Each structure stands twice: as structure tokens, then as C-alpha cells.
Amino acid sequence: MAKEKNQKRETEQKKYTLVIVESPAKAKTINKYLGSDYKVTASMGHIIDLPKSRIGIDIDNDFKPEYITVRGKGKILTDLKKFAANAKTVLLASDNDREGEAIAFHIYDALNKRFPELPIKRIVFNEITKNAIVASVKDPQNIDTAKVEAQEARRILDRLIGYKISPILWVKVKNGLSAGRVQSVALKAICQREEEIQNFIPQEYWTLDAILEKDKKEISAELIKINNEKPTIRNNEEIEKIKADLEQGKFIVTEISKSTKAVNPQPPFITSKLQQVAANRLNFSSKKTMSIAQQLYEGIDIGRETVGLITYMRTDSTRISEVGLSEAREYISKNYPPEYLPENPVLYTKKTGAQDAHEAIRPTSVKRTPESMKKYLNAEQFKLYSIIWERFVASQMKPAEYLSESINIQNGNYTFRITSSKMTFKGFNICLDFLKSKEAKSIKIPTLQENEELRKKDLDAQQHFTQPQTRFTDASIIKFLEDNGIGRPSTYAPIISTLLDRYYVVKKAKQIEPTQLGKLVNEIIVTSFSNIVNIDFTAKLESQLDEIANGKFDHLLMLRDFYEPFKLSLEEASKNLEDHKKSFDEETDEICDKCNSKMVKKLGKYGFFLACTNFPECRNAKTIPLAPCPVDGCNGKIIPRKKGPRSKGFYGCTNYPDCDFVVWSKPLEQKCPKCGKFLIEKNDKVHGNYKVCVDEKNCGYKLLEEYSNE
């Protein structure tokens, strides 16, 4: 009897529905929507995962994973169980993707073992707004086990590659290295591009413009054909022959054509395109873009309410919901002239291989314009929100229209052309600010008639050299991975961060350049594990993971098919791989200032440094000097410095405070040919990457790069 009373009392105490999300920011926002009948708390991401200290996969037992409570998350799990004990229902509200489904499953499993009678359901939503949250709570679902299996298969696959190849790298190269399924493909692409750049041999070529006159007005016409074929002018001798031919002939207008061209708006953002545009327009790294997007998604305090300003930011679909389309069209009709609104909503084609689980990234309410939100956002949030809002609204507007004029001018066998383009209807451009294109300067062409002769004023010949491909940037490496079906929306930013963290690549200006270490690791993986970095093979694995998530492929079959040949590659590499342990050690003339032993150049986690050869008796280590101090009379060396752990790095003299020379750009291993001081690398929109003398004011030497930013 007493037991029944206690159970009744416990049931009466269970007053709330427990909602478990991933982050505290999201919990705070959702809690405001649901009221006192709900308790919203955060799991802080994964609570249950594979152990870090060992592989955690029983390969001989159908790749069974060993799941444990994540270190430091024990209290969170205890709290969740405590909250669940007083709940009448639990709703798992982690992100609506494979990773989120796995988080929900592991929480479900832990709570269900403790409270088998407690109803535990899954809710999903694409935006954190009151309507979306309330609707999801009214329609709880079961956990999608196919998605969980896909996440588990991906996790096991990556764990096998990382925990099997990495120890080989530790033994053969150096401790602390790692290999990853997708990061290795990206590293291979970066190394291949670097090799192409280093091996590139520039080829000379020339272009020719005719400076013509009519009514004392100059017109510049470009040589586009010789004998009706694209011109290939290889040297000065050839250009001089062409000039001589032209002096003998006349410049006659032979063809005048005008045409109108419509330029369609771009689709609303998917994850990869958002990262690319944010990199190119705002100079944001992929990691930074996703961090800011997460803030906009999870909730911003806008005075009377906290609301998610954008829909879910990990998506590969350009689909827009009916609600989103309707709201965009209503906004356009009220805020722009009627000729800017298409008759029907603009729908975009689904990209091949897109999972289409979420709609495109868009504002949760188009009425919340960037300007109206500006006072609630920091500068970076405002910029990112602005480009998302602009891209979405523009996507539902009419195309821009241009009037193009093309005039062909003939002189014997040589065809010249004048082109001009002018915007006649702004279309979607009317709503753009951050995303506004630089309009090409419209050339004013005098009125010309066919068969009219134009007077030659000059012939402008220019020498050029062919350029190699540019190095990858954040934007272009993501585009490369996306175009080849490598990785997914959630993985693009971590790939680049991992390569930088491992010192496999470095960034110079916006460009990604492989280090010596990155080149060596890539060579080992390409030689010993060719499948891992094979684009088609990796893309096939991604497709199989998608099929597993859709319930159309057996995850164990995929793992078995992968592991058997991989196992043979591991055995072969362990036996035959050359030892590279001392590859990066280099003798120097530097003397240890503590024990007078010689110092050796070594490779550490963050790059090269000087270490005493008398290690471990002497543990002295120093930063490698980059260049002699350029100050007259100072015999110091320039080294990297920082004022504090969070401050921006700079380069200063070892004789500080006696010498206070500083420079913000990294000194290069290249002397100025004019004054002998060192060069530094700079970047601007006009020249891209270029090198200048550190004494720019007095010396002024400048060397433009053979290639510039993409």
C-alpha cells in the first residue's frame, strides 16, 4: 500500500516535459517558447562516443563499437537522468542530421535503460522560431535508425583509418601526426596543386589592341582572330610582322550587332556556397563562417524576444519551403516595383547527390531585414546575416537585363572587336548590397556604320606570360571537395581546420600552401594507401553512407568491403615504409646560450624550431630567426612575437627593448635585390599576393607574384 502511494506521489511530481537540445544557447531560446510545462536543457553535443585512448572497434565482431561516456560529460548525463526522473515525457531535439540523430539515440539508450516506461520521442525542426518549435512538439517522432547507422558507419570508417594509419606515421615520421579519410584527399589536392605551380614553365605570348579614332574620339579594339582563327602570338618578331601588315591595310567596320542578355539570380545558399562567398566577400574562414551561422541559427535577443534568425545552416539543398516562398514574394511585392516580382515562384533544381533533408539557408523571416537587425548583431553577425538575406530575397526576383553591343573591324586577315555591355534592368540586383557585383565600366562607342573606315592612331602590343593555377583558398578547396562529391556540409570547415592544426598546410594571405611535413605525409599516404586518397573511391563511400541513411544499403557490408584491402595495405606499409624520423633535423651554426652545445633545427607541432643537441640534459629551445634585423647598426635577428596569447602576432628584433623594430608581415627567405634587406609578403585587391622590401618607404622595391588570389 505504501509502495503504491509513493508511486502515485512520484507520478504527480512529474509535471513537465523534458526537452533535450545540443547547446545552451538553443536551450535558452526554445525555453522561452514552451513555457513552464517544459524543462529545456542541453547535452553539450555528444555524451556517448568512442574512447579516445584506444580504437574502440571490435573488428572481429562485425566492427562492434565500444561506446563510453565522453570524458567530462558524466555530470551532464547524471543531470539528464535526474531531470528525466521527474519528467512525464522526454523530447530529444538535437540537430536534424546524422550527427544529431546519433546524439539523440545515445541519450535515448541511456535514459531508456534507467526508465524503461518513460515515453522518449524525437522532435526535429529546420528553424528556431516559436511556430516551428510548437509544431515539432505537437508532432513527435521515433528515432531514425537508418540515420544512426549511417553516422555509426562513418564514425567507424574514420576511426579505422585514423587509428590504424596514424601509429604508422608516429613510428616512421614523428609523434602526434594523424591521417583522416577526407582530410587526406584535401591534402593530396593541395600538394598536387603546389607541385604543378613549382613545375610550371611560363610561356611567352602577346596581345594587340588597335587604338582607333572617329570624330576625335578614341576607340580601343582587341585583336580576336587571324585568318578567322584565335590568334597565337608567341614573340616580339611575330608581333612586329603583324604590325607591319596592319600598316599596309585599312580598318573597316564589317559587322555591328546588338543583343539583350538576361542574367538569372543565384539560388539561396547551401552550406558550401555560404562558406565560399563568405571567404571571398567577407574574408571569413570556413570555421568562422559556421561559428557565426550557428549563433544566428540558435537565437539572437532582438529586444522583445529571442529568435533564430536563419534556418539550419548545414544543408546541401536549394529547396525553399512554401512558407518561405510565400513570405519572400509578399515582401518583394510590398517593397519593390511590380516589375521585379516574377509571375511564379522561382524553383531551383536539386543538385545531384544532395540529401535534401533541409531546405536552403534563408532568413526565418524576410521581414527581419539586415538594417532592422543591425542594432542586435555584432559586426560579423550583421555581415553574414546580410549576405544570407540578400541571396534569399534576390533568388525570388526577376533576372537582370543587359544590352550588349559588339563591333567587328577588319584589316586584311586580322579581325578586331569592340564590345560594350550596359545594364538596362536591375532585376535582382536592386536588393543587393554586400553581394553587389562590380559593374564593368560601360564603354561609350561612337555611332558607327558598316563599311565605315576608322583612322588608326596607334597599335598597342603587350607582352604576357602564361600563369600557373593559383593555390587553393578556403573557398576553392571547398568547391573542389563539393564538385567531386567529397565530404558533406558538416565536414567542410573541420577539414581545413584539421590540416592547419596538424601543420600539414599553412595560410599565406588567403592561399593554402602545404608544408614539408604535409608533403611527406601526403607522399606516404598516396604511396601506401592509394584508395584512401582516390577521389572516386572516397566519393563512392560518401554515396554509400547516403544510401545507408536512406535505408537502402547495409552498413556492415560497406565496412567489410572497405577493411579487407585496407588491412593488406596496413601490413605492407608497416613492413616496407622508409623511416623518416630524422628527415626534418638540420644542423645549424647556432650555439645554445645555456650549455654552449650546437643547436639543431627540428620540426614541432607548430613548425620548425631550434633545439639543443645536448637533450635531455639541456632542454633549451628557441624560435628560428627569420632574417637579420634591418636597422642600421643592430646585429639582432627577427623572430615571431606576441604581446599575449590572444593578441595578433608580429615580428620583432631579438635585441628588444634596445631595438624596437617591428613588422606585421612575415619576413621571407629572400633578400631585396635593390638594398639587401629582407622582403615581406603583402596582399591587396589590386595586385593579389606580392612581395615588397621591408624598407618600403626608402627602397620601394616591389615584386608582383606570378599568380594572384582566386
Question: What digits encode the pLDDT tens for the residues 598-646?
Answer: 999 887 766 788 899 998 899 998 888 888 999 988 988 898 887 665 5
- 271-395 — its CATH code? 1.10.290.10
Catalytic position from the list 16, 108, 312, 563? 312
Q: How far apart are CA 702 and CA 356, in angstroms?
A: 50
Q: What is the CATH number of domain 14-143?
A: 3.40.50.140
**C-alpha–C-alpha distance, residues 276 and 479, integer Å:** 7
403, β-bridge pairs: 260, 422
Q: What are phi and psi of 383, to 5 degrees?
A: -65, -45
For 256, other C-beta atoms within 10 Å of its C-beta total 16
Angle ∠(221,227,229) on CA atoms, nearest 5 = 80
The set of cell numbers assigned to 205 is 605570348
The CB density around residue 419, as the number of other CB atoms within 10 Å, is: 14
Q: What does the H/E/C string look like for 562-623?
A: HHHHHHHHHHHHHHHCCCCCCCCCEEEEEECCCCCCEEEEEEECCEEEEEECCCCCCCCEEC
Phi, psi torsion values for 412, nearest 5 degrees: 60, -125
First to last CA, the chain: 78
Q: What is the Cα–Cα distance from 482 to 480, expressed in whole angstroms?
A: 5
Whether 531 contacts 566, CB under 8 Å: yes
- The DSSP bridge partners found for residue 141 are 122
Number of helices (H) and strands (E), helices first, in the chain? 18, 30
* Cell (9 digits) for 241: 610582322
* Neighbouring C-beta atoms of residue 180, cutoff 10 Å: 22
Burial class (CB in 10 A: 0-12, 13-18, 19+), 418: buried
pLDDT single digits (tens) 287-307: 999 999 999 999 999 988 889
Torsion angle (degrees, nearest 10) of CA 100, 101, 107, 111: 150
Residues contacting 293, CB < 8 A, separation 6+: 274, 310, 313, 361, 384
DSSP 361: B
What are the φ/ψ torsions at residue 337 (nearest 5 degrees)?
-55, 155
The confidence score (pLDDT) of residue 689 equals: 67
Q: Give me the residue label for grid cell 606515421.
A: 169
**What integer pLDDT is reported at residue 349 of this predicted model?**
80
Residue 692 corresponds to which cell in the numbers above?
Answer: 615588397
- Answer yes or no: 414 catalytic: no
Q: Which three cell numbers stand for residue 528?
A: 601506401
Q: Which residues of 572-588 are buried (b: 16+ CB within 10 A; e: fewer)?
A: ebeeebeebeeebeeee
And the C-alpha cell for 358? 533541409
Task: Report, as ranges of residue numbers, the positions in the chain whose pLDDT lies below 70.
Answer: 1-14, 351-357, 439-442, 605-606, 643-647, 684-689, 704-710
Kindly report whether the global pTM for this prediction surpasses the value 0.85: no
Give the ranges where 452-554 is alpha helix by DSSP (H): 474-483, 492-501, 516-528, 535-549
Helix (H, G, I), strand (E, B) or coil at 218: strand
Task: Give the containing element (helix H, strand E) for 238.
Answer: helix 236-248
Q: Which set of grid coordinates corresponds to residue 455?
A: 583612322
CATH superfamily of 204-264+400-465: Topoisomerase I, domain 3 (2.70.20.10)
Of 573, 554, 577, the residue nearest 565 (C-alpha): 573
Cell 601543420 identifies what position? Answer: 503
At which residue does the C-alpha cell 598597342 appear? 460
Question: The domain 152-200+470-576 is classified under which CATH number: 3.20.20.70, 1.10.460.10, 3.40.190.10, 3.40.50.970?
Answer: 1.10.460.10
C-alpha cell at 277: 562567398
707: how many CB neighbours lie within 10 A of its CB? 16
Give Cβ neighbours of residue 543 (< 8 Å, ≥ 6 apart): 353, 485
pLDDT for 708 equals 33
Grid-cell match 543587393, residue found: 432
What are the residue boundaries of the structural domains of the chain, listed by start?
14-143, 152-200+470-576, 204-264+400-465, 271-395, 585-624, 631-710
Residues recorded for the chain = 710
HEC string for 625-687: CCEECCCCCCCCEEEEECCCCCCCCEEEECCCCCCCCEECCCEEEEECCCCCCEEEEEEECCC
Q: Distance between CA 591 and CA 613 in Å, rounded?
A: 10
Beta bridge partners of 402: 261, 423
d(CA 232, CA 328): 50
pLDDT of residue 216: 85
Q: How many CB atoms lie within 10 A of CB 644?
A: 6
